[in-house]
Amino acid sequence: MSEENWIEVGSTDSIEEEDLIRFDHQDKTFCVYKLTDGFYATDGICTHEAVHLEDGLVMDDEIECPMHQGIFNIKSGEALSPPACEDLKTYPVKVDNDKIFIKID
């Protein structure tokens, strides 16, 4: 695991609990979430249509797309409710000195 793959997203207090922030890196968009047990990251665009999940609703471990209510599990990326049927990609997250990093492949 090379160090360069970890990208700094921001400080841990930049996200409220049970909420998310959008993070753009190069030409990709990610969502970084703060859940009760830690930080998680997924692709930032819904797999159903090209809609940003940053405007979606975080409830427990799930993110619900603001467009057609497709639901994904934030931790596994699994598509839980139609019309979303393709899983969402997830990324490893670590916290170092109150800073959040995600590992982008």
Partner 1 sequence: MKNNIVILGGGQAGIYAAREIRQNDSKSNIKILGEENLLPYERPPLSKDFLLDKKKEEDLYFHSSDVLKNENIEFENISINKVDFENKKLFAKNDNVYSYDSLLISTGSENKKLTLDNNLKNDIYYLRNLEEAKKIKEIVSNKNKITIIGGGFIGLEIASSLSQLQKKVIVIEIGNQLMGRIIPKQIADLVQNTHIEHGNEIILNKQIEKITKKNGDYEILLNDNSLIETDFIIVGIGSTPTVKLFENTNLKLDNGIVTNQFCETSIKDVFAAGDVSNFYHPFYERNMRLESYQHAQNHGICAGKNIAGVKTEYTSIPWMWSDQFNLNLQLTGICDEYDEIIKRGNDINNGVIYFFLKNNKIRGACGVGIIGKVGRDIRITSKLTEKDTIVDKQILSDQNLKLNKLIQK
Contacting positions for ligand FES (CB under 6 A): 46, 48-49, 51, 65, 67-68, 70, 83-84
Partner from ligand FES, partner 1, none binding residue 55, C-beta < 5-8 Å depending on class:
partner 1
Nearer to ligand FES, 46 or 100 (CB): 46
Rounded distance between C-alpha atoms, residue 33 and residue 61, angstroms: 10
Q: Which residues of 29-48 are buried (b: 16+ CB within 10 A; e: fewer)?
A: ebbbbbbeeebbbbbbbbbb
Nearer to partner 1, 7 or 67 (CB): 67
Note whether 52 binds partner 1 by CB under 8 A: yes
Rounded distance between C-alpha atoms, residue 66 and residue 57, angstroms: 7
Other residues' Cβ atoms within 10 Å of the Cβ of residue 55: 11
Q: Which residues sit at the interface with partner 1, rule CB under 8 A? A: 18-19, 49, 51-52, 54-57, 64-69, 82-83
